[in-house]
Structures are given as C-alpha cells and as structure tokens.
Amino acid sequence: MAQALSPSPFALEQILNSISMGLILVDANQTVCLWNGWVERHSGITAEQAIGRHISEAFEELPSRALLSAIANTLSYGLPVVLSNALHRSPLPLFERNEQEAEKKRIHQSITITPLDAEFGGRNCLIQINDSTTSIKREKILRTHSEMLKREATTDSLTGIYNRRFFDEHFKMAMGHAVRHHVPLSVFMVDIDYFKEYNDSYGHVAGDKALIQVAAAMRKQLMRATDVLARFGGEEFVLMLPNMAEDSAMQFAEKLRTAVWDLNIPHVNSRICERISVSIGCSSFFKHAESDANILLKCADAALYEAKKAGRNQSYYLPLQQFNSSSATTKDKPQKTASNQL
C-alpha cells in the first residue's frame, strides 16, 4: 500500500497557516501549543505571544465559560464537544478583518473541540474554529425573504390587511374549533356603499386611498389576536371573530359601521348622504346542527343583501337557523340591528 510522505515541519507550518479556519492546540495543562495564522489574523494576537500561555490568558478578553468548561471536560474525559453558533455565537474574542470600521465586529463561530493523544502520554485538545458569520447572514436574508413571501401570500397589497386566501384557510379552522369546543363564531360581510360611483367621481387613486382608510378604521376595532379582517374583493370586506355571541355581534356590527361613517370621507354621488358609508351583514354559529363554514358565510352575505335592500348604511343580523342554504334567503324577516337613514 502506498503511503504519503510526511511533510517537512516548514511545509506543515505553511499548511496550517493557510487554511481558512482557526486551529488552537492546548496540552493537558491548557497551555497553548499551536496558534495558526487564521487565529492570528482574527484575534490580533501573534503565535509568539500566545504559545506557552494558558488558553484563558492568550486572548485580550477571557473566552466564554462554556468554551473553557468544554475544554476542561474534553481533557478530562476524552470526549469531543461541539459548540454550535445557534447557542454560542462568539465564544472567543475573534473579529472581522475590516480596518475601515473603527468598531470591531465579533465573528460568529462554530467550534469543535477534539481530544488528541499526546506523543508521550497524556492528552491534548484541538480547538477548530469556523467562521459562521456569512452563513448566519445568509440565513437571515433567507428568513426575511421567506417572511416577505409569506406576507405577500396572505396580505392584501393595497390595504395591508389579510387577503381572501388567508381568510378562507383560517375560517375553516376557526369553524372546526367552534364545533369542537362549543364556542360561538361570528362573521361580518362589509360592503362600501356606491363605491363604483365614488371611483367615477373621484378617480381610482382616491378610491384606493378610501379603501385603505376604511380598512384601517375597521382594523382599529379589533381587540384580540384571533380576530381576522380581510379584503374579500373589490370594495367588500369580511371579518371573523371567534367566541363572539349573537348579542355582541349585533353591537359590534354597528361599531364597525359607525367607525367608517365617522371617517367623514366625502362622497357627493352617494344616494345616502354625501360621505362614504358601509352596509354590514352578520351571522353567528353556536351549537347548530349545520357546521358547514360556507353556510355561515352565505348567511352573512344574505344579511348584507338585506342591509342593502333596506336602504344601505345599515347593519343587519340574520340568525343561522333562519337561513335556507339552497336559496340563500330568509324564512322570516331578518333582524335589523342598526340603521342610519339620512
């Protein structure tokens, strides 16, 4: 079997100083025996200054307790130790090489501590140091990019509230939770009155601004993290409020309507009054035999239709038991929770 020739001490020194990782060798007394060029460059301490000193005294600052403890354990028990950058970002005072910046930045490090048998008995300890700064920066960029894509996938780009895709996914989960835990769930369909006429009068730029204002006014009414407001399409919005009973839903619908009304956005071609208003339809699920999420949504949409038919700028509550899913109409006259006929 062919064997590789052992490199000369001079060649070995060149190899150790040219590799792109830090190497420190300490003996059984934790005295530094090897200190390669990478460590010199990132510590500012030369090999001549470090070799022969205790590892805790070789740097300008004391290494972390975790590192010193790991070295002691490796020398005592002969077991390797890995200090990952996830838990130990900078165990050693090593810095990026950037002479243009006055403040030195610590390198994020991954450190492996390996026991080595000494030539004349005893045990040495090899400390291998990798610079994790670049990989951590890359990970942060990827995480930021991922979060941005997630926001784009679930958020309406104009108003900043959730989009319909997000609502559809979470509405089914919320309905399942309401059924399993026997808690109420209320849904609100909101439509800006005569919004086409608004766009015709003021232009689409003003229309976009009005949508943003309306969305912001309704979002301010939400008090819990589980409450969801989404843009359903065009000038229509939908809200889902878990654990909200019928009587509270009726009050909340009026609260939404008033919040938009109080914005006092001029609308000269509205057939209600010369400001923007909304019509709201709502319904609630609570221990009903029918647990289909689509039925509750259709019921709220039917209530919205009744609010518009009654003159708009209205809030109507339609009980789920009065709703016929096949015809999307009511058996009895829906309950009008609030109105503002002007």
Q: What is the pLDDT of residue 5?
A: 54
The Cβ of residue 26 has, within 10 Å, a number of other Cβ atoms equal to: 23
Q: What is the pLDDT of residue 340?
A: 38
Read off the pLDDT of residues 289-309 as tens digits, 9 standing for 90 and up: 667 788 999 999 999 999 999
Q: Is residue 337 scored above 60 in pLDDT?
A: no
In the predicted model, what is the mean pLDDT of the chain? 88
**What is the DSSP-derived secondary structure letter of residue 321?**
G
Amino acid, single-letter form, for residue 221 = Q
**For the structural domain made of 155-339, what CATH number should be given?**
3.30.70.270
| Confidence class for position 324, pLDDT limits 50, 70, 90 | low
Strands 314-317 and 278-285, by their bridges, are parallel
pLDDT (mean) for 52-79: 94
Read off the pLDDT of residues 22-46 as tens digits, 9 standing for 90 and up: 999 999 999 999 999 999 999 999 9
Amino acid, single-letter form, for residue 81 = V
DSSP line for 274-295: SB--EEEEEEEESS-S---HHH
Q: Is residue 276 scored above 70 in pLDDT?
A: yes
**Fold (CATH) for 9-137:** Beta-Lactamase (3.30.450)
Q: Which tokens is 199 given?
A: 């766009």
Instruction: Spell 279-318 as b/e; 16+ CB within 10 A means b.
Output: bbbbbbbeeeeeeebebbbbbbbbbbbbbbeeebbbbbbb
Rounded to the nearest 10 degrees, the angle between the axes of helix 293-309 and helix 164-181 is 110
What separation in angstroms does the CA of 158 have from each of 7, 75, 155, 161, 212?
A: 67, 61, 9, 8, 7
**Residues 6 or more apart from 41 whose CB is under 8 A from it?**
97
Of 96, 235, 274, 290, which is the active-site residue? 235
119 tagged catalytic: no
Torsion of CA 257, 261, 262, 265, to 10 degrees: 140
Q: Is residue 257 scored above 70 in pLDDT?
A: yes
pTM over 0.85: no
Q: What percent of the chain lies above the pLDDT cut of 70?
A: 89
Write out the residue limits of the CATH 3.30.450.20 domain(s) in the chain.
Answer: 9-137
What is the C-alpha separation between 47 and 33, in angstroms, rounded?
9
Rounded to the nearest 10 degrees, the angle between the axes of helix 204-219 and helix 246-261 is 140
Q: What is the pLDDT of residue 87?
A: 79
What is the C-alpha separation between 168 and 27, in angstroms, rounded?
64
Q: Which tokens is 152 given?
A: 């784009």
SS3 for 54? strand
The dihedral through the CA atoms of 105, 106, 109, 113 has a sign that is positive
Q: What is the pLDDT of residue 100?
A: 55
Amino acid, single-letter form, for residue 204 = H
Q: What is the pLDDT of residue 339?
A: 42
| Confidence class for position 328, pLDDT limits 50, 70, 90 | very low
Q: What is the pLDDT of residue 9?
A: 63
Cβ atoms 257, 338 nearer than 8 A: yes
Q: What is the pLDDT of residue 146?
A: 72
**Residues 6 or more apart from 322 whose CB is under 8 A from it?**
330, 331, 332, 334
Q: Is residue 281 scored above 50 in pLDDT?
A: yes
| Confidence class for position 326, pLDDT limits 50, 70, 90 | very low
Read off the pLDDT of residues 92-129 as tens digits, 9 standing for 90 and up: 999 987 655 567 888 999 999 999 988 777 899 999 99
Cβ atoms 179, 291 nearer than 8 A: yes
What is the C-alpha separation between 190 and 340, in angstroms, rounded?
15
Lowest model confidence (mean pLDDT) among 16-25, 88-97, 217-226: 88-97
Q: Is residue 173 scored above 70 in pLDDT?
A: yes
Q: Is residue 329 scored above 50 in pLDDT?
A: no
| Confidence class for position 64, pLDDT limits 50, 70, 90 | very high
Owner of token pair 């000193």: 53
Q: Is residue 187 scored above 90 in pLDDT?
A: yes
